[in-house]
């Protein structure tokens, strides 16, 4: 079978049908190749796009993981700080308990209302090492310790009232000098003075009585010893609570005789003169505090 094509000039062209089949087949092949090539390109592009999305997602997840790790580290640090504060509170509770127990014992008070050691407690050892203290637990423990400290303070206040009323009320009035031995003298009064170390004008919140190394330091009034130990600047220090918001301090001692919780009488030797702490020589730095603030001791010394 053949096809004849006649042009306007009278010429004739013949095509065999088989040639047309070949043309159609070639056209279809070209289309198929184009489609396949386009599919390959699209497939390759889609694969790259998916990989890019996966990479972005992984990066985002890594950022979130890093943030979570940072938050965990910050939380652990805060928990450590809270745990340290809880330990400090617990140490303060223990100190108050020991002081109160010593006061009650020295005052010959029966145990019961003034038993600061707490009720009997116990329990098996927890062998679960996976337990970790969380922030909420620490906060609850801090609240409990604060309540316990408040309770201890109230008991101490009541104990102080009983001690002062029953034992030392008549002697609690402050008067006289903290050192009365011959050879001692008032070396620095209360008020603004030239600091012996810096040379600058500073406030001196006490009276200094100089003397010889080893002289006796006496209590200027009866009371309860609330501090017996070293304190920054003061060296070896004795502090006595005389009740009614009044207390006295005796600093720079060589040796401390009275201990925390002791009930001391007026004129009793409580320490030995020395030059501990921020001191230029043997003397006693004498302070009087009213409601926790230093006042001029002169009115009490010369009462």
Q: How many residues does the chain have?
A: 303
The per-residue pLDDT for range 213-261, each reduced to its tens digit, is: 999 999 999 999 999 999 999 999 999 998 888 999 999 999 999 999 8
Beta bridge partners of 238: 228, 250
What are the φ/ψ torsions at residue 258 (nearest 5 degrees)? -75, 145
For residue 204, give the nearest of 214, 192, 212, 213 by alpha carbon: 192
Contacts of 279 (CB under 8 A, 6+ apart): 235, 252, 285
Residues 221, 242: Cα–Cα separation, whole Å: 7
Token output for 177 = 């000098």
Model pLDDT for residues 182-204, shown as the tens digit of each residue: 889 998 889 888 888 888 888 99
Task: Report the distance separating Cα 177 and Cα 184, nearest Å.
Answer: 10
- Cα dihedral 238, 241, 242, 247, rounded to 10, equals 70
pTM over 0.85: no
C-alpha angle with apex 238: 190 to 211, nearest 5 degrees? 60
Rg (the chain; Cα; Å)? 46
Please identify every stretch of the chain with a pLDDT value under 50, giving residue numbers as ranges.
1-3, 5, 7, 15, 111-113, 116, 118-132
Residues 145 and 93 sit within 8 Å (Cβ to Cβ): yes
Closest to 255 measured CA to CA, from 234, 240, 271, 270? 271
Half-sphere exposure of 266 (CA within 13 A, CB side): 15
What residues form DSSP beta bridges with 227?
239
Question: What is the pLDDT, as a whole number, of residue 202?
Answer: 87
């Amino acid at each position: 079978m053949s096809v004849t094509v006649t042009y306007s000039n009278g010429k004739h062209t013949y095509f065999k049908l088989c040639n047309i089949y070949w043309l159609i087949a070639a056209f279809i092949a070209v289309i198929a190749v184009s489609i396949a090539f386009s599919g390959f390109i699209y497939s390759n592009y889609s694969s790259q796009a998916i990989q890019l999305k996966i990479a972005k997602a992984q990066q985002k997840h890594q950022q979130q993981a890093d943030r979570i790790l940072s938050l965990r580290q910050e939380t652990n640090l805060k928990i450590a700080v809270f745990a340290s504060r809880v330990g400090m509170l617990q140490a303060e509770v223990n100190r108050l308990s020991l002081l109160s127990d010593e006061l009650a014992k020295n005052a010959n008070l029966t145990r019961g209302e003034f038993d600061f050691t707490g009720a009997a407690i116990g329990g098996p050892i927890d062998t679960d090492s996976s337990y970790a203290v969380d922030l909420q637990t620490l906060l609850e423990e801090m609240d409990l310790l604060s309540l316990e400290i408040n309770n201890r303070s109230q008991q101490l206040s009541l104990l102080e009232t009983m001690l002062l009323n029953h034992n030392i009320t008549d002697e609690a009035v402050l008067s006289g000098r903290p050192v009365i031995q011959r050879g001692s003298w008032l070396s620095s009064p209360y008020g603004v003075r030239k600091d012996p170390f810096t040379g600058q004008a500073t406030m001196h919140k006490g009276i200094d009585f100089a003397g010889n190394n080893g002289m006796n330091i006496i209590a200027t009034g009866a009371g309860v010893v609330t501090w017996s130990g070293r304190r920054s600047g003061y060296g070896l220090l004795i502090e006595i609570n005389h009740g009614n918001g009044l207390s006295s301090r005796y600093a720079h001692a060589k040796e401390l005789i009275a201990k925390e919780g002791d009930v001391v009488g007026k004129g009793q030797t409580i320490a030995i003169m020395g030059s501990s702490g921020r001191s230029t020589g043997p003397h006693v730095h004498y302070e009087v505090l009213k409601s926790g603030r230093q006042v001029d001791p002169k009115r009490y010394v010369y009462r």
